[in-house]
Amino acid sequence: MKRTLPKEEIKHLGNLSGISLTDEETKTYQKQLSETLDYMENINELPTANTPPTSNVSNLENVFFHDGGENKRGLTQNEALSNTKQKKDGKFLVKRIL
C-alpha cells in the first residue's frame, strides 16, 4: 500500500516532538517517513492473532528498589544545577507560564 503522509500530519508530528520544521524539511520528511512506513508493512505478512506482545525480553516483573538499600544516586542541589544556563536562588529559572 503506497501512501504519502499529508503535510499537515508531518507538521503535527513535529509539534508532538517539540521541534519546528522548515517547509523544506517538512517536504523531505514527508517523503522519507512515507517510504519507511511502506517498508514496515511487511510485518503484516506474519500472523499474530494469538501472539502476545513483548515489551521487554528480560521477563522480569515488579522490580523494586530494596527498602534500606544504599542509594547513592541523589544529587545535591548544586550538582543538580551545575549544568543549567539559568538559575536563581538555587532553583531552575524557566519562562512564566501563567
Partner 1 sequence: MSIFGKSIVELIRLVQEKEISRKELFDYFKRRITKYNPNLNAFLTLAEYQEDTNHGELLGIPLAIKDNFCTKGIRTTASSKVLDNFIPPYESTVTQKLLNQGASILGKTNMDAWAHGNSTETSDYGPTKNPWNTDRSPGGSSGGSAAAISAYLSPAAIGSETAGSIRQPASWCGTVGIKPTYGRVSRYGVIAMGSSLDSPGPLTLTVEDAAFLLKVLAGNDPYDATSSDIPVQDYPSIMTQKKKFTIGFSDEYFDGVNEEIKAKIMEALDVFRRLGHKTKKIKLIPPKYAISVYTILQRAEVSSNLARYDGIRFGNDRRSFGEEAKRRLMFGAYTLSYGYYDAYYKKAQKVRTLIVEDFKRVFSEVDVIVAPTCPITALKLGEFKKYPFFGEIMDVLNEPGAVAGLPAINIPVGLDSVNLPIGLQIMGNYFDEGSILNLAHQFEKETEFFGIIKKGLEKYKDE
The site for partner 1 (CB under 8 A) is made up of 5, 9-10, 13-14, 16-21, 25, 29, 32-33, 35-37, 39-46, 48, 51-58, 60, 63, 65-66, 69, 73, 75, 79-80, 82-86, 92, 94
Q: What's the closest the beta carbon of residue 96 comes to partner 1, in angstroms?
A: 14
Q: Is residue 9 packed enough to be buried (19+ CB in 10 Å), middle (13-18) or exposed (0-12)?
A: middle
Q: Name the CA radius of gyration of the chain, rounded.
A: 23
Smaller CB separation from partner 1, 8 or 55: 55
CA distance 7 to 91: 40
